[in-house]
């Protein structure tokens, strides 16, 4: 199956006063997929989105969205995409309905269509009851849904979501996930999203890219990335002579590596659920007793930590960014 590339980035780079925020990244997004962009704070996720959505001009490299160049044909790109930024961008003094109408007119929808579309979208995101209330009275989840409605007003080919669930409670997150799946399945929309939450990426995304320090460090489907880590980890507590045990286990098919920590053996295996009974059989036949057993499958967290390292980041942020972030969290909680 040959998939159509809808976003293509080649050596895309952004340098702010000597600080390289995005460093020569190259990737494709295929039509109709949910593409997740992961990375620590300050890794360059939002900068990449800002470039692809034409808000920022790249320092080097090029990118196309739906075949249009993001610099030379920016206006065309803008009319084909929808953007839901990280911040809440709706005008607080206007009602939800007025906000959607305003967005519709910015995308050039004729008045009648705009009105119809606004009603439909507010229904879709479950805000019909609150459509004539001012946005300042909305909760965080409602604001996020309103942002989504605004981003969908032109029924874009590609929807860019920057941290769509940041600061939301579990219920609101689940609702946003439902919408994202619906958009993909019902409308065949391509979705490009950034997130901090790895379970979110694992659940939703067809493919993910991990970016760290402005560089792309991994790309692929969550399952493949997990498998690439070297499979599952089996932990066994066994009494007895360690050298023989290690030898016995190592002979089993699909066992990759055995390490011993005290009485505990950490065994890297592929197809853990099939290999584990075989190991138990062999050990039993040779008279060893297993006192504890634990099988873990790698999570996306393991993939993420493998590529981005475990150290806590020293982050630099401006006062303004912090202010915006604080404002957003405050509104998310209200």
Partner 1 sequence: MTRYIREIKNPFHGLWSLTHRELKKWYKAPIVLFISVVQPIIWIGLFGKAMNINAIFTSTMTTLNQKLPPNFAEQIMSKTFGTLDYFSFMAVGMLSFVILFSAMFSGMSIVWDRRLGFLNKVLSTPVARGVIIVSKIFSATIRSLIQAGIVLLAALLLGLHLHQNITFLKILGVFLVLLLLCVGLASMFLMIAIRSTRWETQMAVVNLLNLPLLFASNVLFPVKLMPSWLQTVAKVNPITYATDAIRQLLIYETNFSQLTFDLIYLTAFTTVLVITGIILSWKYLNK
Q: Which one, 60 or 227, has the nearer CB to partner 1?
A: 60
Torsion of CA 297, 161, 67, 7, to 10 degrees: -20
Does 71 contact partner 1 by CB under 8 A?
no
**Total binding residues for partner 1 by CB under 8 A?**
44
Rounded Cα distance, 256 and 245, in Å:
15
| Residue 116-135 contact track with partner 1, rule CB under 8 A, x = bound | -x--xx--------------
Query: Binders of partner 1 among 177-216, rule CB under 8 A?
Result: 187
Given a contact cutoff of 8 angstroms between Cβ atoms, the answer to whether 186 and 179 are in contact is no
Q: Which one, 118 or 279, has the nearer CB to partner 1?
A: 118
Given a contact cutoff of 8 angstroms between Cβ atoms, the answer to whether 11 and 26 are in contact is yes
Contact stretch for partner 1 (CB under 8 A) within 78-86, 226-234, 266-274, 297-305: 78-86
Partner residues linked to 218 by β-bridges: 210
Closest by Cα among 74, 73, 86, 82 to 100:
82
Structure tokens at 313: 């980041």
Does 91 contact partner 1 by CB under 8 A?
yes
Selected binder of partner 1 within 54, 190, 194, 276 (CB under 8 A) = 54
Closest by Cα among 36, 32, 21 to 195:
36
Does 246 contact partner 1 by CB under 8 A?
no
Based on the number of CB atoms within 10 Å of its own CB, is 232 exposed (0-12), middle (13-18) or buried (19 or more)? buried
Does 45 contact partner 1 by CB under 8 A?
no
Given a contact cutoff of 8 angstroms between Cβ atoms, the answer to whether 81 and 157 are in contact is yes
Does 102 contact partner 1 by CB under 8 A?
yes
Q: Which one, 4 or 284, has the nearer CB to partner 1?
A: 4
Rounded Cα distance, 115 and 112, in Å:
5
CA 66 to chain CA centroid, Å, is: 21
Least distance CB 106 / partner 1 (angstroms): 4
Query: Binders of partner 1 among 277-316, rule CB under 8 A?
Result: none
Does 165 contact partner 1 by CB under 8 A?
no
Does 78 contact partner 1 by CB under 8 A?
yes
Q: Please give the residue ranges that form the binding site for partner 1 (CB under 8 A).
A: 50, 53-57, 75-76, 78-81, 83, 85, 87-94, 98, 102-103, 105-109, 113, 117, 120-121, 150, 154-157, 187, 320, 323-324, 327
């Amino acid at each position: 199956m040959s998939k159509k590339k809808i976003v293509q980035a080649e050596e895309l780079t952004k340098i702010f006063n000597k600080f390289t925020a995005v460093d020569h990244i190259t990737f494709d997004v295929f039509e109709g997929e949910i593409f997740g962009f992961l990375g620590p704070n300050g890794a360059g996720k939002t900068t990449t989105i800002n470039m692809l959505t034409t808000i920022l001009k790249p320092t080097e490299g090029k990118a196309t969205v739906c075949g249009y160049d993001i610099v030379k044909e920016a206006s065309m790109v803008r009319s084909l995409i929808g953007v839901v930024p990280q911040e809440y961008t709706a005008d607080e003094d206007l009602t939800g309905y007025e906000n959607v109408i305003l967005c519709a007119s910015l995308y050039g929808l004729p008045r009648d269509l705009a009105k119809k579309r606004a009603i439909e979208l507010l229904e879709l995101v479950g805000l019909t009851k609150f459509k004539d209330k001012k946005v300042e009275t909305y909760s965080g989840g409602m604001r996020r849904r309103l942002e989504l409605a605004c981003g969908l007003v032109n029924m874009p080919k590609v929807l860019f979501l920057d941290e769509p669930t940041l600061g939301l409670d579990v219920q609101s997150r689940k609702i946003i996930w439902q919408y994202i799946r619906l958009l993909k399945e019902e409308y065949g929309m391509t979705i490009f999203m950034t997130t901090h939450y790895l379970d979110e990426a694992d659940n939703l995304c067809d493919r993910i890219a991990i970016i760290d320090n402005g560089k792309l460090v991994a790309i692929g489907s969550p399952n493949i990335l997990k498998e690439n880590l070297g499979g599952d980890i089996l932990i066994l507590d066994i009494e007895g002579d360690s050298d023989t045990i290690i030898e016995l286990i190592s002979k089993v098919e699909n066992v990759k590596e055995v390490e011993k920590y005290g009485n505990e053996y950490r065994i890297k295996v592929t197809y853990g659920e099939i290999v584990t009974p075989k190991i138990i059989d062999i050990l039993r036949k040779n008279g060893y007793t297993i006192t504890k057993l634990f099988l873990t499958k790698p999570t996306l967290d393991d993939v993420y930590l493998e590529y981005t390292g475990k150290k806590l980041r020293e982050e630099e942020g401006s006062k303004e960014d912090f202010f915006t972030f604080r404002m957003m969290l405050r509104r998310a909680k209200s």
